[in-house]
Structure 1
Amino acid sequence: MRLLDSAIDRYRSTISLMLLIVFVGLVARAAMTVESSPEVNPPFVIVQVSHEGISPEDGVRLLVRPLEQEIRALEGVEEVISTARESLVYLVVEFDSAIAVEDAVDEVRNAVDRAKAELPRDAEEPVVEEASAQPFPSIVVTLAGENVGERALLQSAQHLKRKIENIGDVLSADLRGNREEVVEATIDPVRLEHFQITSGQLITAVLGNNLLIPAGELETNRGRFSVKVPGLIETAQDVYGIPLKNSADGVVTLGDVTDIRRTFKDASSYTSVNGRPGLAINVEKRSEASSVEVADAVRAVVQGELQSLPRGVEVNFVFDQSQFARDMVSEMQGNILTAMLLVMIIVVAALGFRSGMLVGLGIPFSLLFGSIITWYLGYSFNFMVMFGMLLALGMLIDGSIVITEYADRKMAEGMSARVAYVLSVRRMFWPVVASTGTTLAAFLPIMFWPGVVGEFMRYLPVTVFAVLAGSLLYALFFAPVIGSLFGKSNLDLATQQYLKQLEVGRPTGLAGITGTYARMLEKVVRRPLSAFVATVLVLFGIFFAFGRFGAGVEFFTETEEQYGNVEIRAQGNLSVAEKKVLVAQVEKVVLAVPEVRVGYTAIGSGGLSGNSDRAPDQIANMLVELQPAEQRERRSRDIFADIRARTSDFPGIKVTANVFEGGPPVGKDIVLELRAQDYGTLLAETWRLHRALENEFGGLRDIVNTAPLPGIQWEVKVDRAKAALYGADLTEVGRAVQLVTNGVRMAEYRPDDSDEEVDIRIRYPERARGITALDQLKVNTPRGAVPISSFVHTEAKPKVDKIERIDGITRMQVKADAEEGVLPDDKVREIRAWLENNPVAPGVELLFRGADEEQNESLAFLGVAFLLSLFLMFILLVTQFNSFYQSLLILSSVVMSTLGVMLGLLLTQSTFSVIMTGVGIVALAGIVVNNNIVLIDTYNYVRHSEPELTPAAAAVKASAQRLRPVFLTTATTILGLLPLALGASVDMMGRNVVVAGVIASFWVKLASAIVYGLSFSTLLTLIVTPVMLVLPGRLRELLRGILPPQIRGNQWGEG
């Protein structure tokens, strides 16, 4: 204790150090970025390659396989999911969670560079980027204008997009709802025939006149000069003058046989906000960036550019997550301050004003110390960090209470404040260190939770670690120094006599709660074996009752949310105009729901955030923002159930509506993944399982699969033998076919009034396009212009719109959500039972993915984490007490707390949440042992200082002495979490109470688990632990009475 003596002697330096820590903590807290939820950034990388006109089958063969081969060889790759669509392939590469996203992107980019040599020359440059884990943009900027032309609105949006992309923390700013500009040269077939020009000649001439020609340099005696041969098309006027053929009347140019105009491509996407059409910029932040800072920066940039936009352009912001984040942080901070106030009231009421304030100072000190550590680790100030502080708040004063309470008793005996606090630290040092150590040991394994769920939950144990480390420093160092300066026994005479009798007399003679408890305990410890058997029977009864009558298991927990998604699906080859008509009906119904604040609809372009994990027949999705929870009466789930009911009877379309689930992203409730090499078998099994989910199982909704949609595609078959007779070039054939479809991309140029490059395309007019127009096409051959129909015919075949692969094997999925009130875990068990009697076909592998996969992985980890926590605590306890029996006795409170959680869930008929209840049980393991540690340590001290007492008397006396601190530490922990456990968010500072809101619904499972377990285990600990301390001696007495004398002597070492 020399360090403590020196700290007390130099108390000015000690207090200055404490104030420095407080100051740095305040600075760290101010520097932490604010987020609503933890940033879950699993290392996912997306690779995207475009190749115009390539089919999904050819995309797999020519693009996907070379990329897969290089990427799968990388170290740390967990999974490679590839998707091939018409003209596009993309791969999603999942790395081990220990690998940083930036390193993963670099590794994939290098692998793609190695694979580029094997890709087709016509393929565009591969794009490699990190995948966004956000389900929707950080903020959306919308542009609209009643009297603004389409080109002016587009140019305004492109201008803002470029400005926003220059913000450092912005990952992407995607423009939605726009039509791309194009210079279109429409061929006049009559004029083409008049000048006797074939389509092949036309294409060859155009491409040959749009070349970059390096001409080198010229050296003369007058100097060295570069020589330039301009060959690229730079303006739309250059297109008109491209020469095609010499004739008697002069040179025939492209302008003579085509109509050239600058226009827009056919619409492929459409956006609207609250039913009003316009353009939208979806802004996504980088993984490490703050959504609040990004939103503020976007607003500032846009506000600064408003003056430069054309008159009539209206700019608005929707789905700004920064305000939601600020509201959540403010609400959670209010809960922390409320808990601090309640805890302070209890402590002051129990210990007196002076001692209570001394203990209470440890709360802000520990929280600010924790802020320093979390800020240093780069954490944002999100609700997971704040709940870690709230959870630690009830535990962080345990050590200070023990130190202060013991010092108060010694000062009541006449000791000075300095001597009392030094003696208190010397006496309680190891019990306090052991109790804090066991708490940290319980949280330690959670820090190494793998995967997406682990990334999400890791903030909690790290924050608890940081805060409790600060509380230990305060309890053993700063509190004794402050107590030695200001500590004073202000107890009245009656209280001093009470404490004296508790210390040196018989506690059974005391009045009040302590005396009643001591007298009751004295009777119980007389029959320890009966009490032990009764306890075991009660615990086993709870276990079996929970297994029989429990409400079931769920992966996470139902949370109250402010955002959701409405997905609109329809089959058929619908145009964008047809889709707009169908979607407008749904928009009108959704926006009529009174709780809906904003509805942002996107048709085409992969939805709102380019998410590829969507139903194949999705035509649009609508991001819905509800009014804040405190401003509406219905829960978000009830509102979206209402939306589903209102949109259930639209002919020709299917509508699904769901809230965005809180917690780690895991996808739909039920995901069945089928893998096989044989495509036909895989397709048949996918539809068989789809029909089974629809017809064999109740309680499921929104059943979809990823099988290709039914349809046809035209294949142009070339008779190679006949083509060889004519000397036809397949490249010419392909380009000729493009003329009657999307057109041939001749070049691109950048207009003066646009920063975006514009394609120049040539094709036949709409009346001359289509599959039948192929018969009229001619191609150049050595024999002259030959009709393409001479060696080409067309066939209609089933269409394959996309092919998905995982780790090189083709896959399809069947997905479903559980109805309200139906547990996905129950449905999964039903499906597994059905599959035992109806197995999948040979060669098909079936896996349960999504929430079920994450649930099983989390259950397995939490089981191992729980056992590891117990083992770590056992090592610490054996080191402290040097007794296996007492260490196991302390750990018995963990069993009691777990069964207390089960009892609470059983009585309230609440479901067991794998994540939140599981974490609560693991956290309880470190909390509940603290009472046992101090109680058994006091028992050992009483036995050592008063050897004349029997074990029963020593157990009663030690339990009576520790009754007040046990109740006090338990009450502070429970009271801090009780509002959330009851489903209420209480902010006394803001004078606001929200029942079943976002915060309360998220934490109710974890908070209630701790309240149930701690309450139950504390009550049993005060009875069972003294009984178990007496039980070994009573068993010895019974054995002495039963065994013969010679055996008794040999057994116990007595003659």
Structure 2
Amino acid sequence: MTTLFFRYPRLIVLALFLVVAAGLAALSVLGRQEDPSLTERFGAVTVILPGADAARMEALVTRPLEAALLELMELDEVRSTTRANVSQLNINIRPDLSPIRVEQAWSLVRDRVAEVRPSLPDGVQMVEVNRQYMGAATLIVALRWPEGSEGSLGALSRLARDLEDNLRNLPGTKETAVFGEPEEEVRVVLDPEAAAALGLTAADVAGLLARSDAKVPSGRLAGRSLDVTVEVAGAFDSLDRLRAAPVSAGPGGFLQLADIARIERGLREPEATLALRNNNRTILVAAYLEPSLQVDAWDRRAQSAVGAFADANPGLETDIIFAQADYVVDRLSGLARNLGFSALIVFAVLFLLMGWRSALIVGSALPLTVLLVMVLINVYGSPLHQMSVTGLVVALGLLIDNAIVVVDDYRLLRARGMDRTQAVDKAARTLFGPLLASTLTTIFAFAPIALMPGVAGEFISMIGVSVIFAVGSSFVLAFTVILGLAVVFDDTGAGQGYRGFLRDGLRSRPLAWAYRKLLDAVIAQPVLGVALSLILPVAGFAAATTLPSQFFPPTERDMFQVRLVLPASVSIEQTRSRVEQATEMLLAYDGVEDVVWVAGAGAPRVYYNMMNVVQGRPNFASGFVRADSKETAARVVRDFQRAAITAFPDAQVLAIPFEQGPPSPAPVELLVVGPDFAVLDRIGTDIRRILSGVPGVTFTQAGLELGLPVARLETDEAEVGLAGLRLTDLAGRLRADIDGVPGGSVLEGVEELPVRVIAPDVRRDAIEGLGATPLPGRGGAPVGISTLGRFTLAPETAAITRQDGERTNPVYAFLEPYVLPAPVLAEFQRRFEAEGITLPPGYRIEIGGEAENQGEAMADLMSTAIPLLILIIASVVLAFNSFRYAGVIFAAGFLSVGLAMFGVWMFGTPLGFNAIVGSLGLVGLSINGSIVVLSALRANHLARAGDPDAIRETVVDATRHIVATTLTTIGGFAPLLIEGDAFWLPFAAAVAGGVAGSALLALIFAPAAFTLLVRFDRKARAGEPAAPVTA
């Protein structure tokens, strides 16, 4: 078997054709996207109950739903925010569940919500379970009428729905959404006095209209010769039909609706949400692609559909303001360039060290392995994105290690006089075990990354998967195709020694002499060699203590997100005014091209971890800013944040760079848990005061909001009873006048407009107008609300937050752009302890935000790393059949982590999650050189006997391929190091620094440790009869 591909050269040709054809076919069908697709583990249950304050919503809605959901073992966390009229429960599903079990968990969530639904109060208008799509929009289109156009927002809304239908019908579209869409309706504005004189309320009129709207089926006549549907004519199909609807005015008498009300068609006011682009009223249409499809191919079809829509509506401005395909092409093209540059560097290193013939043979492993990895990724079911392609860049220098060792060893055996058959057989037999062990250790080292659960694991796992596929494929190719090519393209002078640079690569006699002298010194004084090997690793561990901590770095992008929060009592029109002011400031900066806001709700996602779960908050707005370059965006986000603090003293205006990693509400979060609102508020106030003084903090915000002004009607219940009313009747009638009551619908073609009966604006704009509203009293006599009591303004809880069944007060700290959260949190903790604040019994503070996400990610990583570390130990112990030599290997692995920290420190990057992941993967890489050296030393009986010359020459023989594999690995990372991308630089610095130092460990530490072990064996056997040296 070891000479199979040598004896049957046609196998090489067939294998090459198979790998190339399968790889190109897989590449043509693989999905392409910017970032990995994440499982939808986040979502929200939203309930709307008009007229209920936050306390009622908590007691009647939030707590029952929360109790039902917390019974599900599949849920990791349930957080709720309860406000007047709205309750939102944010759900996190356990990170260890597979995608199939996540789908089952969402089904259970819907079932529990459906079980609780009948027990919720009457009047609940909406109960929705929404899953958070974990990804950016694939395409966002902005629609607006040109300046001076007479087009209505209602018509614009209908056109937006038409475009949404067109995008939804494209193959591959997962979902669509419309943002900033006004709600059209037919408004029946009652004359309060006329209605009260007739003894009618808004609810009465709405009921009459609903019963007059004959859109219900009346049955079906079916007989032997007849099959006819029966209908009652009279459905509302126009405003005139609605005006003519009869309204009962008493026994035997009727009036038409137009006699007591004004009927008009318009937009619902106040609007729930609105969208602005560069301060122009806009409607946004977003489309999201199914995961694992080719974004660029779908984008071409979508752009064609948008172009056809624009041509069909020439009076409408239709602009594509975001296309993910642009970022996908840019990202993958950049990574492909890095892959190409890395390949050129690797080939150049091979040519310099091994000569042109060996460089071509070993270099052929690069394209063959990459194509084979494409096949495996396609079978695995993952698309191409920045993580999978970066995994190839990471593996580029590793995947030829096996080929280098095999080809170099074959040529060394040929140089010693063996014929081709003997050389290929001995090389395969000798190297199969050590290279299998080194390949398995590399696979086991990257397996924790590939198997890591949770959001962070799903994000980075394809790095590990790509590396595992690459090194596994390279091992198979090295002992089949590559070794076969080495034999087929062998030259007749292979056994004649060094014949020049082009054939055998660089050789330097003075350098070789100096290197041998160094090895002689290390072998003579092995303790000194071990000590020298410890210098850089120990320095690295010491440097690591000075590095700032960071979870994931910001991404370099030509966009950033903006957010604006005003006091809870602010209307959406006031929010719009502030948004327009902020937009003017942003557009004044050079290089800013687009400013998009959505007020009252979350904006469409233009990045995969952008949060947009906010609904029904008129005091809230969010959006994104697009600049002409990533450098401009980085400059503007800093300048605008500083300027906004001064320009908006009554608001929180945040400019936030897009960051990698799981979504988080704020960089720093401190969760105060306890039962009493007042105590929670007091502790939260202390925390906010301390946080505000920490350098780098721009704003602080508490989730628990007290002191919302509420207009309360203080009534004399006896007077209300004398008027023939009850307090609940009074509350219901007030709500009907203020919010309106639905009463049927008007069907115009395919558009159905709801009918809402409501009081005139003058009765709803101010407390005085509301007090003057007459109500039908006892005997039909009108009764003014002001005669039943008086209105007062009273403070009330605006927002109640809970987590996993407990009341909480989450305190958020927002930071200046690019300020690291870890130092801010550490400084806060120091100041908090210095003030000596003690918490009452039953209260505690938990740390959330980035610190919590990082802790969970590290726990997930270690949960898979520890078992796999045991597998690495087992594979090395079994390969050497010795615990002592395995100890040397793992000492080298541990020291390489210090070298990785030294690399991170040298490049000046924070010690983030990427650097830790790189260090973990490095352990499997760094020990490969030591495995090769120790294997060669143990295979030489003279070296095992302690012969210094034999030890030295064995290490010298292994040096070239160790140096080659080290330089090719570093060469693979060179583009990432040179480019300096904030996301990849810590990872590349850790791996490259560790790999560079691992060569020193393999060539200095390993022979020194081997010499110490041999000497220890000789001393242990002193005085005993001579016996063969064993491990």
Query: Structure 2 length as normaliser, TM-score?
Result: 0.91
2:689 maps to amino acid: R
The answer to whether the 8 A contact 2:772-2:784 is kept is yes
SS in 2 for 1:352: helix
The answer to whether the 8 A contact 1:546-1:902 is kept is yes
The answer to whether the 8 A contact 1:637-1:658 is kept is no
Distance (whole Å) between structure 2 residues aligned to residue 196 and residue 445 of structure 1: 74
The answer to whether the 8 A contact 1:50-1:126 is kept is yes
Distance (whole Å) between structure 2 residues aligned to residue 59 and residue 209 of structure 1: 34
2:856 match? 857
Aligned runs of 1:794-873 on 2, under 5 Å?
794-819=791-816, 822-836=819-833, 837-862=836-861, 867-873=866-872
1:673 match? 671
Match among 148, 151, 156 for residue 149 of structure 1: 151
1:642 match? 639
2:695 match? 698
Task: Compare 515-524 and 1003-1012 and name the one that shifted more.
Answer: 515-524
Distance (whole Å) between structure 1 residues aligned to residue 594 and residue 798 of structure 2: 33
1:274 match? 278
**Structure 1 residue 257, shift from structure 2 partner:** 1.0
1:1032 match? 1013
Q: Does 1:886 align with 2:885?
A: yes
Distance 1:487 1:267, change over 3 A: farther
The answer to whether the 8 A contact 2:414-2:420 is kept is yes
Q: Alpha carbon RMSD of aligned pairs, Å?
A: 3.5
**Structure 1 residue 1018, shift from structure 2 partner:** 1.2
Q: Does 1:308 align with 2:312?
A: yes
Distance (whole Å) between structure 2 residues aligned to residue 345 and residue 1008 of structure 1: 21
**Structure 1 residue 724, shift from structure 2 partner:** 5.3
Distance 1:768 1:57, change over 3 A: closer
Distance (whole Å) between structure 1 residues aligned to residue 203 and residue 598 of structure 2: 39
Distance (whole Å) between structure 2 residues aligned to residue 497 and residue 28 of structure 1: 41
Distance (whole Å) between structure 2 residues aligned to residue 958 and residue 1050 of structure 1: 24
1:921 match? 919
Task: Compare 609-618 and 883-892 and name the one that shifted more.
Answer: 609-618
**Structure 1 residue 145, shift from structure 2 partner:** 2.1
Distance (whole Å) between structure 2 residues aligned to residue 302 and residue 1040 of structure 1: 84
The answer to whether the 8 A contact 2:561-2:658 is kept is yes
2:133 maps to amino acid: S
Distance (whole Å) between structure 2 residues aligned to residue 43 and residue 301 of structure 1: 32
Distance (whole Å) between structure 2 residues aligned to residue 948 and residue 284 of structure 1: 64
1:117 match? 118
The answer to whether the 8 A contact 2:540-2:900 is kept is no
Distance (whole Å) between structure 2 residues aligned to residue 280 and residue 819 of structure 1: 29
The answer to whether the 8 A contact 1:569-1:617 is kept is no
Task: Compare 674-683 and 394-403 and name the one that shifted more.
Answer: 674-683
Distance (whole Å) between structure 2 residues aligned to residue 13 and residue 203 of structure 1: 83
Task: Compare 345-354 and 30-39 and name the one that shifted more.
Answer: 345-354
**Structure 1 residue 42, shift from structure 2 partner:** 4.3
**Structure 1 residue 1035, shift from structure 2 partner:** 4.4
SS in 1 for 2:840: coil
The answer to whether the 8 A contact 1:412-1:489 is kept is no
1:27 match? 25
Query: Structure 1 length as normaliser, TM-score?
Result: 0.89
1:48 match? 46
Match among 784, 787, 793 for residue 783 of structure 2: 787
Aligned runs of 1:87-486 on 2, under 5 Å?
87-97=85-95, 98-100=97-99, 101-134=102-135, 138-146=139-147, 147-150=149-152, 151-167=154-170, 169-192=172-195, 202-210=205-213, 215-216=218-219, 227-229=230-232, 233-245=236-248, 251-268=254-271, 269-286=273-290, 291-309=295-313, 311-486=314-489
SS in 1 for 2:655: strand
Q: Does 1:713 align with 2:710?
A: yes
Distance (whole Å) between structure 2 residues aligned to residue 1006 and residue 947 of structure 1: 38
Task: Compare 843-852 and 106-115 and name the one that shifted more.
Answer: 106-115
Distance (whole Å) between structure 2 residues aligned to residue 326 and residue 755 of structure 1: 40
1:1009 match? 990
The answer to whether the 8 A contact 1:668-1:816 is kept is yes
Distance (whole Å) between structure 2 residues aligned to residue 553 and residue 781 of structure 1: 69
1:1002 maps to amino acid: F
Task: Compare 1022-1031 and 486-495 and name the one that shifted more.
Answer: 486-495
Task: Compare 766-775 and 457-466 and name the one that shifted more.
Answer: 766-775
Distance (whole Å) between structure 2 residues aligned to residue 641 and residue 557 of structure 1: 16
Task: Compare 355-364 and 85-94 and name the one that shifted more.
Answer: 85-94
**Structure 1 residue 958, shift from structure 2 partner:** 1.2
The answer to whether the 8 A contact 1:211-1:232 is kept is yes
Cα deviations across residues 539-589 of structure 1 (Å, max 9, x unaligned)? Answer: 545534543xx2322222344222201223433744444433332222122
Q: Does 1:976 align with 2:972?
A: yes
* Structure 1: gaps spanning 5 or more residues: 502-508, 985-995
SS in 1 for 2:186: strand
Distance 1:441 1:717, change over 3 A: same
The answer to whether the 8 A contact 1:348-1:355 is kept is yes
2:735 maps to amino acid: Q
**Structure 1 residue 254, shift from structure 2 partner:** 1.2
Distance (whole Å) between structure 2 residues aligned to residue 124 and residue 80 of structure 1: 22
Distance (whole Å) between structure 2 residues aligned to residue 890 and residue 247 of structure 1: 98
Distance 1:129 1:248, change over 3 A: closer
SS in 2 for 1:568: strand
The answer to whether the 8 A contact 2:44-2:131 is kept is yes
Cα deviations across residues 260-298 of structure 1 (Å, max 9, x unaligned)? Answer: 111222253332323333322233445555554554343
Task: Compare 925-934 and 263-272 and name the one that shifted more.
Answer: 263-272
SS in 2 for 1:647: helix
**Structure 1 residue 981, shift from structure 2 partner:** 1.9
Distance (whole Å) between structure 1 residues aligned to residue 323 and residue 878 of structure 2: 54
2:612 maps to amino acid: N
**Structure 1 residue 965, shift from structure 2 partner:** 0.6
Distance (whole Å) between structure 2 residues aligned to residue 213 and residue 348 of structure 1: 83
SS in 2 for 1:469: helix
Cα deviations across residues 969-1007 of structure 1 (Å, max 9, x unaligned)? Answer: 00100011123223x2xxxxxxxxxxx4xxx22211111
Q: Does 1:897 align with 2:905?
A: no
* Structure 2: gaps spanning 5 or more residues: 606-610
Distance (whole Å) between structure 2 residues aligned to residue 303 and residue 907 of structure 1: 51
Cα deviations across residues 788-844 of structure 1 (Å, max 9, x unaligned)? Answer: 646565443224333332222222321123446754222222323344421333332
**Structure 1 residue 258, shift from structure 2 partner:** 1.0
Distance (whole Å) between structure 2 residues aligned to residue 19 and residue 941 of structure 1: 38
The answer to whether the 8 A contact 1:40-1:664 is kept is no
Task: Compare 271-280 and 933-942 and name the one that shifted more.
Answer: 271-280
Distance (whole Å) between structure 2 residues aligned to residue 981 and residue 700 of structure 1: 31
Cα deviations across residues 52-100 of structure 1 (Å, max 9, x unaligned)? Answer: 3333333223332333233222231111222333333232221123242
**Structure 1 residue 710, shift from structure 2 partner:** 4.1
2:285 maps to amino acid: I
Task: Compare 224-233 and 81-90 and name the one that shifted more.
Answer: 224-233
The answer to whether the 8 A contact 2:293-2:383 is kept is no
Aligned runs of 1:511-910 on 2, under 5 Å?
511-536=509-534, 539-540=537-538, 542-544=540-542, 546-547=544-545, 550-571=546-567, 573-608=569-604, 611-612=612-613, 619-629=620-630, 632=631, 636-651=633-648, 652-695=650-693, 697-708=694-705, 710-716=707-713, 728=725, 732-752=729-749, 755-766=751-762, 770-780=766-776, 783-785=779-781, 787=783, 789=785, 794-819=791-816, 822-836=819-833, 837-862=836-861, 867-910=866-909
1:1020 match? 1001
Distance 1:729 1:574, change over 3 A: closer
Distance (whole Å) between structure 2 residues aligned to residue 516 and residue 782 of structure 1: 112
The answer to whether the 8 A contact 2:586-2:592 is kept is yes
SS in 2 for 1:396: coil
Distance (whole Å) between structure 2 residues aligned to residue 62 and residue 238 of structure 1: 40
The answer to whether the 8 A contact 1:394-1:969 is kept is yes
**Structure 1 residue 120, shift from structure 2 partner:** 3.3
1:658 maps to amino acid: I
User: What number of residue pairs does the alignment pair up?
Assistant: 1013
1:824 maps to amino acid: P
The answer to whether the 8 A contact 1:198-1:778 is kept is no
SS in 2 for 1:122: coil
Using the aligned pairs only, state the percent identity: 23
